Amino acid sequence: MVDFDHSANLLKNLGVRVVAGSVDSVERTAELAAGLRLGYVKAVAGLDAPAVARSTGAFIQEGDRTFLHATGWLVDPSGAIVNAVYSTGPIGRFSANDVLKKVIFEQAKAAG
């Protein structure tokens, strides 16, 4: 998330919005966002992990603490998923640079 926040100006200039979802409470998510000093990334709390996993294919960790493994979608203005990244552990995430390159490529392709 910090990576995306640091690239906020570049992302904004391309029309990219970034949303991070969490199964944690509103309070815990707000604490995390404040601790990371997020300003551009919008943090959304209280997601239902099993429902998100069922509807998106995201991997879920269940047990003492239930959470979703990192899952990322690059969605175009029409709502279509252009690229997705699914992780089953601590690695395997979009970087801001990955998203910037893909958006620039897609915008150039659409411009002809």
Give the chain's domain count: 1
Q: List, for residues 75-110, the tens digit of each pLDDT value.
A: 998 999 999 999 998 888 999 999 999 999 999 998
Question: Which residues span the domain enclosing 92?
Answer: 2-111
The per-residue pLDDT for 105 is: 95
Half-sphere exposure of 37 (CA within 13 A, CB side): 3
State the CATH number of the domain containing residue 77. 3.40.30.10
